[in-house]
Amino acid sequence: MADIFPYYAGFAFDWACKQLHVQSNGDPTKVVLDPWNGSGTTTLAAQVDGHPSFGIDRNPVANLVAQLRCQVRVTGKVLLPPRRSRVSGRMAARDALSNWFSLTSVTRIRDWVRALQDESLDTKIVGLVSIFRVVRSVTERFEGSNPTWVKRAKSDDELLNISPDVLDDAILAEQEGLWERLMSAPRGVGRTSIVTASSDRLPIAEDSVDIILTSPPYLTRIDYGVAYCRELAVLGIDVLNSRDLRAGLMGTTLIRGDTANQLKPGKIACDLLHRVSSHSSKASSGYYLKQTMQYLRDLSAGFDEMTRVVKPGGTLCMVVQDSYYKDEPVPLADICIDEAGARGWNLVLREQFPVKRTLTTLNKSAREYKKSQVSESVITFSLRSA
Ligand SMILES: C[S@@+](CC[C@H](N)C(=O)[O-])C[C@H]1O[C@@H](n2cnc3c(N)ncnc32)[C@H](O)[C@@H]1O
């Protein structure tokens, strides 16, 4: 099920299962959390290993995919094509889907989304993920060389005019395909809660979690709002024309403007800020400094929250990737080790792996700067008892 939806996973399902089994010593009562749960690899692994778990993500698209993988009961119910509504030019033009689709196609996709509202949660989740998959596949041409940066149609001529019949067939086929996949997908007995919330305000009581297994957004300019703008449009959220949701996601390229006075960076983060602000390239001391500060503020708020909810003696295992700002290294693993240490976490293990293909190798202007190999680290900590 991991490939059911293209999510930037950070780690694989089998690896997550092994990690949880080791960290919990095989004790299924241990409570698991992923505060950046994405498509739900951690929560699915926890469920299969028998643990109760919380999966938090600010992006509702991620949570629907995680719910599909972890919570949907296999009923096999396929929603048949709903009644066709008349195209209302004014309504369809205001719809977020009109960034890519003609009024006729927008109206038909909206018919499906509306019809799903009256269905059971299981049918609704399978139906919505089916629509995500269809929309993503037919709009592929709007992805650039960087697949996380999606463009909208520049003119009416570029809009996709896909007939209602073709859309109906595709959505039906996707629903059938998803149910088939779900029938043979792994499932366990652990209770799973998937919640749309932010890592800087976890809706979880203090001292209630034993193990965190997670991979936060990296400082690589993946804007999760833009990367999932087409699926968010299906849910009625237009991230390309408004700041809704997108501004609150960690790693966003939008600037919120409230971060400078909230940030108390550690030594390694301070050094990175200094190197970014004194870089000779355009906007380094302006926009890019602000974006880096905002990211670091979100990361440290995440650490505050993870420290609050974990029991003394609990463990934190993070997968993080270093990157580059122009030619300046961004040592994210070292920054995390620094942040964790300042909050009472002991580093237990650090493993490093070379990364062959990163987003900056896809970006032509970023390739102009000299860089050495980037690495991905698995860093494991345990929380000191008070
Ligand atoms: C590297 S992905 C995690 C992927 C996950 N391990 C999986 O298996 O799919 C990072 C996730 O952080 C989420 N995220 C970004 N900002 C957030 C925030 N403020 N609070 C919670 N989640 C956030 C993104 O939506 C994205 O799903």
Regarding whether 228 and 206 lie in a shared domain, the answer is yes
- pLDDT cut 70: percent of the chain above it: 94
Give me the CATH number covering residue 220: 3.40.50.150
Regarding whether 316 and 198 lie in a shared domain, the answer is yes
**Containing domain of residue 237, as a range?**
2-60+191-383
- Among 249, 319, 321, which is best to mutate for testing ligand 1, by the most ligand atoms less than 8 A from CB? 249
Task: Please identify, by atom number, the ligand 1 atom nearest to the C-alpha of residue 217.
Answer: 10
Regarding whether 106 and 13 lie in a shared domain, the answer is no
Q: What is the pLDDT of residues 39-65, one digit of tens each?
A: 999 999 999 999 999 999 999 999 999
User: Which of 164, 183, 202 is at the close of a domain?
Assistant: 183
What's the pLDDT score for residue 75? 95
Q: Checking phi first, is residue 310 left (phi over 0); if not, alpha (psi -120 to 50) or beta? A: beta
- Compute the mean pLDDT over every residue in the chain, rounded to the nearest whole number: 92
Centre of ligand 1 from the C-alpha of residue 76, in Å: 29
57 within ligand 1 shell (Cβ under 6 A): yes
Q: What is the pLDDT of residues 124-149, one digit of tens each?
A: 999 999 999 999 999 999 998 777 88
Regarding whether 142 and 214 lie in a shared domain, the answer is no
Torsion sign (Cα): 361, 366, 370, 371: negative
Among 228, 181, 189, smallest CA distance to 68 is for 181
- 81 occurs within a structural domain: no
Q: Position 365: which residue type?
A: S
Question: Do residues 220 and 360 make contact, with C-beta atoms less than 8 angstroms apart?
Answer: yes
Among 338, 331, 204, 346, smallest CA distance to 276 is for 331
Region 5-21 average pLDDT:
88
Regarding whether 322 and 290 lie in a shared domain, the answer is yes
What's the pLDDT score for residue 242? 87
Centre of ligand 1 from the C-alpha of residue 241, in Å: 22
How many distinct structural domains can be found in the chain?
Answer: 2
- Among 224, 231, 336, which is best to mutate for testing ligand 1, by the most ligand atoms less than 8 A from CB? 224
7 within ligand 1 shell (Cβ under 6 A): yes
Regarding whether 24 and 151 lie in a shared domain, the answer is no
Regarding whether 212 and 322 lie in a shared domain, the answer is yes
Regarding whether 119 and 198 lie in a shared domain, the answer is no
In the structure, what pLDDT confidence band is assigned to residue 89 with cuts at 50, 70 and 90?
confident
Regarding whether 99 and 54 lie in a shared domain, the answer is no
36 within ligand 1 shell (Cβ under 6 A): yes
Lowest mean pLDDT among 60-64, 86-90, 175-179: 86-90
